[in-house]
Chains A and B, each alone.
Chain A
Amino acid sequence: MEPTEDDPKLNRREFLGKAIRASVFLGIGGLAVLVAEKTISGQTVWQLDPAKCIQCGRCATSCVLTPSAVKCTHVYAMCGYCDLCGGYFKPGTKILNTAAENQLCPTNAIKRKFVEDPFFEYSIAEPLCIGCGKCVKGCSAFGNGSLQLQVRQNICENCNQCSIARNCPSGAFSRVPAGKPYLLKQIVQETKSKK
């Protein structure tokens, strides 16, 4: 029904409706402009800073995925290829072999391979890793710290609020730009010599 001159009440109601609609529209637009200043065109992803990580083991249990999207990542460039690996063997292991009772990893996710005397290569079988961080703790305590926990971005669901970040006691989790999604520790001298 078209509003007419003889029906002022309808006109007033229509006018008010229009005015409110326009102000709500401007409000939404204003909010968008205000927020848009702080936007990035791409995505952010969750990542944990190994320098802050205390290997509490909550990455394994807090993730919405089972097993967790946090896995042990091996930075080979930092590894000392030790025979007595602090990340592979339980403390106090006598015979250094691949027997299950010697291994620190609860899921047998670390593979030990002989390279040449006396060096061994350690690699992570990612599907088996649950992200408990036991090996990371061992490696940082006794070794070079080449085993590090990282959110594997191909597995991570990228939840709006990461549930591990909520439970992380040391605040190691943060949103990072998707273009540079890993925060691996590197040896400083190593990178310098490469340049």
Chain B
Amino acid sequence: MLNRMLWCIKNMKGRILFLMMMVFTISFMNVYGVQRFPKPEFESGYVQPETLQPSARSAVLATMDVVVLAFALALVSWLVLKKRSRKGVFLTSVFSLAYFGFYRQGCVCSIGAIQNVTLALFDSSYVIPLAAITFFILPLIFTLFFGRTFCAGVCPFGAIQDLVSFRPQKIDPRLNAILGVIPYIYLGLAILYAATGTDFIICRYDPFVGIFRFSATFGMYIFAGTLLVSGIFIARPYCRYLCPYGVLLNWISRFSWLHITITPSNCIQCRLCEDSCPYDAIDMPLIGRNPENRAVTIRKLILICLLVPFFVVLGGWTGSRLHETLAGVNGKVRLAKELLEPLKFADQPETFEIAAYKSSGKPLSLVYAEASQVLRQFYTGSWILGCFIGLVFGIILASRLLTRYRTDYSPNKGACFSCTRCVDYCPVEKNGLKEIQP
């Protein structure tokens, strides 16, 4: 209903006129300062004080952040792959927590930089700081070469959760797979909201930034507390079941050039590392099982080929149904809605939004035109978002259906955070038992 009305208004020809009127109002605003009372001419030799305008943090320090990031990434990659030192990785992560977390107060971080990059791609007027691009790109490149070493020792969010994971429990693989869908949805929503210029939801619902600043809303403290307390038993809950940047790192890490291995030479199947991973990221060998019948595999493949497109279309359709709900958060759409339904708000005092709209002198049709444009963006966006989530469901189902045969204990390249805990459990490592064959 709302959608259709806005479409109609958008089609009106008066758009150029509105733009001209807007330019007129803006040029009028420049002469806003009205000198009702002239400045006195003082006789007592009074010197008028300067209006102090203290400047922001210097750009040199922003460059230093980037240098520290690059250095920490290089150091932790070296510690993981060459030194295989858990202690070194732990110390680097404590440093990163202190620097990127408590000193830099968690801003700008790589997770949030997804939104800056998205906004820069979609909004031509937005200029992106160089630091935001580097924070987005550098960890991706390091992951492509060395696996998720960023998660191991550079990300302050990972570090704070790693510190509290005292009693990690095994998570049921089915539950793990279901919860693993949440980051994809979160990533999709974050990109949708950033691309439409609505909001940066990753920053808004960032649980740990409040801890780094010692100041947050009550709700965010509860959220952060829940994550940290549950993090005692479920290691790194944010990284595994929420982090949208983790989705990108996960997929890039699967194709990484190098990756941490549990054993430095050959696996002797001693099973000592089996329970060492707090994140259930070690793939067990499946030698005992018989390889399945070829006909069964083909039947499964046909099922997958039918199910995935179905999921994609179903997801896209569901998404497009929800586009008005999703767009309801957008300020322009909300204002248009409030202005369209004045009766509903008649008994309430005028909202600040409506007051601000009235004082701005903006024509009503421009508000509607803008809202309809945002709604159309959301319609396209939610189709894509829905298809994407459908595809993710399909792929996860497919990976659950198909089994890959492995002979050795190896870290799952996607899920492994390269924390190097498992390395300490390998007897080949400890005692130099390289000669012993299974």
- A126–B32 Cα distance when bound, in Å, is 25
A78 and B33 contacting across the interface, CB-CB below 8 Å: yes
A21 and B57 contacting across the interface, CB-CB below 8 Å: no
A54 and B107 contacting across the interface, CB-CB below 8 Å: no
Size category of the A interface is: 35 or more
Decide if A194 is an interface residue (CB 8 Å cutoff): no
Known contacts A43-B59, A66-B215; decide if A81 and B120 are in contact (CB<8 Å): no
- Count of B residues near A, CB < 8 Å? 71
A43 and B56 contacting across the interface, CB-CB below 8 Å: yes
Report which of B36, B115, B129, B144 forms a contact with A161, defined as CB distance below 8 A. B115
Interface string of B19-60 (1 = CB under 8 A from A): 000000000011111111111101110101111011111010
Decide if B213 is an interface residue (CB 8 Å cutoff): yes
Residues of B within 8 Å of A159, CB to CB, are: 107, 203
A24 and B51 contacting across the interface, CB-CB below 8 Å: no
Report which of A58, A80, A158, A177 forms a contact with B37, defined as CB distance below 8 A. A80
- Near A by CB (< 8 A), chain B positions 204-255 give 204, 210, 213, 215-216, 252, 255
Decide if A169 is an interface residue (CB 8 Å cutoff): yes
Decide if A42 is an interface residue (CB 8 Å cutoff): yes
Residues of A within 8 Å of B132, CB to CB, are: 160
B56 and A34 contacting across the interface, CB-CB below 8 Å: no
- Near B by CB (< 8 A), chain A positions 146-161 give 152-154, 156-161
- A97–B62 Cα distance when bound, in Å, is 47
A152 and B33 contacting across the interface, CB-CB below 8 Å: no
Interface string of B97-113 (1 = CB under 8 A from A): 00000000101110011
Interface string of A130-167 (1 = CB under 8 A from B): 00000000000011110000001110111111010010
Residues of A within 8 Å of B30, CB to CB, are: 51, 188
- Near B by CB (< 8 A), chain A positions 30-79 give 31-32, 34-36, 38-45, 51-52, 54, 56, 58, 64-66, 73-79
Decide if A187 is an interface residue (CB 8 Å cutoff): yes
Which 8 pairs between the two chains have the least Cβ-Cβ distance?
A80-B37, A170-B356, A161-B200, A154-B54, A169-B352, A153-B56, A56-B352, A169-B353
User: Would you mind naming 19 contact pairs between A and B with Cβ atoms under 8 Å apart?
Assistant: A20-B255, A21-B144, A24-B255, A36-B133, A40-B128, A42-B129, A43-B62, A43-B129, A54-B359, A64-B215, A75-B51, A80-B36, A115-B44, A116-B43, A144-B33, A154-B56, A160-B115, A181-B53, A190-B35
| Known pairs A44-B127, A160-B203, A170-B352 / 11 extra A-B pairs, C-beta < 8 Å | A24-B144, A24-B255, A28-B137, A39-B129, A41-B130, A42-B62, A44-B129, A74-B51, A80-B36, A160-B109, A175-B127
Chain A contacts to B: CB under 8 angstroms: 17, 20-21, 24-25, 28, 31-32, 34-36, 38-45, 51-52, 54, 56, 58, 64-66, 73-82, 115-116, 119, 121, 123, 142-145, 152-154, 156-161, 163, 166, 169-171, 175, 177-178, 181-182, 184-190
